[in-house]
Amino acid sequence: MTISDAILRGDTADIYFHNTRNILQHEGLDPVVAMEIFPNHSGILFGMNQALELLHAVLPPDAEVWSLEEGAAMEAKEVVLRIRARYSSFGLYETALLGMLAHQSGWATAARRIAEAAAPIPVISFGARHVHPDVAARLEYAAIVGGCISCATPAGASLAGKRSAGTIPHAMILIFGDTLRAVQAFDKWMPPDVNRVALVDTFRDEAEEAVRVAQALGDRLWGVRLDTPTERGRVTPELVKEVRARLDLAGCPHVKIVVSGGVDLERVRLFRAAGAPVDSFGVGSAISAAPPIDFTADLKEVDGKPIAKRGRIPGVTNNPRLRQWARN
């Protein structure tokens, strides 16, 4: 993903970085500085590749950069990025660098916690509808780096080198007026390599609808998705167990069960503790609404002299996990 012109122009930068650039320029000051960036708490680092892409676009050839790798586990206060270059070349982009790391690391960390709680049951990211479309692809890519096996949008899947996952929405079923008719139309027109997954909570009892669709499609049906709204009591471990039992009794043990709708870390743990036979979870706002991880940028050297604000240790921080960036 290329860096936007708005970012490169500094349109997304805090105004005081513009002020600083102008004042230093008038004063004839442009030292070589070492800046370190670190998080306020532990998590999964994501957004580093995009940050390096930005630095590649703005730094001079003699700049030096060290970083942790994309997707690495990071500890609180651990330096994840160090830049040594003239301040004028990158100071304006502090806001962008911190933002790239903060939001995407928050998403990746939430996804990792949910994926670990669900394991070995796979998790799919359904969070694109909860964020602005301009950042939807970054959200879903972060979720995949965090541990989701796929995501709902082609844009996010493309960034991760995956195939997007999803079949039919309630709207399509409501237009057809019957779940089976909608699923049959999906089966008729979609390519054979697309999994046939029937959404079975629109019109009838979920277990009844699941058996009805499974018997009609036979081996072509990959699974059923339960997305019961809160108005009807949500999807429960007991409901999943009933649907599984009725599918098995109907001679359809191959049909898998996907659970979505308000799934978060606590509900994943609930289903796992209850032994509910879930084959996949679809998770949306529990990932997309995850709080950003705050990152801080500190100057630690100015023209080779160790320096720091009060409360911080002057000089660069040793972190043997950092790898020097080899500029292409």
Q: For the domain that residue 258 is a member of, what is the CATH number?
A: 3.20.20.70
Indicate whether 185 and 283 sit together in one domain. yes
Q: Are residues 252 and 164 both part of a single domain?
A: yes
The rounded distance, in Å, linking the Cα atoms of 41 and 39 is 5
pLDDT value at residue 187: 96
CB 87 within 8 A of CB 33: yes
Instruction: Write out the two tokens for 133.
Output: 């479309």
Q: Quick one: DSSP state of residue 293?
A: P
Q: Which domain holds residue 24?
A: 5-105+291-324
Which residues are bridge partners to 299 per DSSP?
35
**pLDDT value at position 1?**
57
Give the pLDDT confidence score for residue 325 in this predicted structure. Answer: 84
Task: Say whether both 114 and 85 belong to one domain.
Answer: no
Strand partners, 257: 224
pLDDT digits (tens, 9 = 90+) for 164-221: 998 899 999 999 999 999 999 999 999 999 999 999 999 999 999 999 999 999 999 9
Question: What number of other Cβ atoms are within 10 A of residue 300's Cβ?
Answer: 22
Same domain, 134 and 40: no
Look at residue 287 in the predicted model and tell me its pLDDT. Answer: 97
Q: What is the widest separation between alpha-carbon atoms in the chain?
A: 81
> Bridge-partner residues for 124, per DSSP?
150, 282
For residues 73 and 188, membership in a common domain is answered with no
Q: What is the DSSP string of 67-87?
A: EPPTT-EE-TT---EEEEEEH
Task: Please count the structural domains in the chain.
Answer: 2
The 10 Å Cβ neighbour count of residue 311 is: 5
d(CA 112, CA 99): 20
What local confidence, expressed as pLDDT, does residue 172 receive? Answer: 97
Residues 97 and 140 in one domain: no
pLDDT at position 155 is 94
Radius of gyration of the chain (CA): 24
User: Are residues 116 and 241 both part of a single domain?
Assistant: yes
39 and 81 part of one domain: yes
Q: Do 37 and 81 meet the contact criterion of CB atoms below 8 Å apart? A: yes
Task: Specify the pLDDT at position 2.
Answer: 80
What residue type is assigned to position 279 of the chain? D
Residue 15 sits in a domain of what CATH number?
Answer: 3.20.140.10
Residues of the chain with pLDDT under 70: 1, 327-328
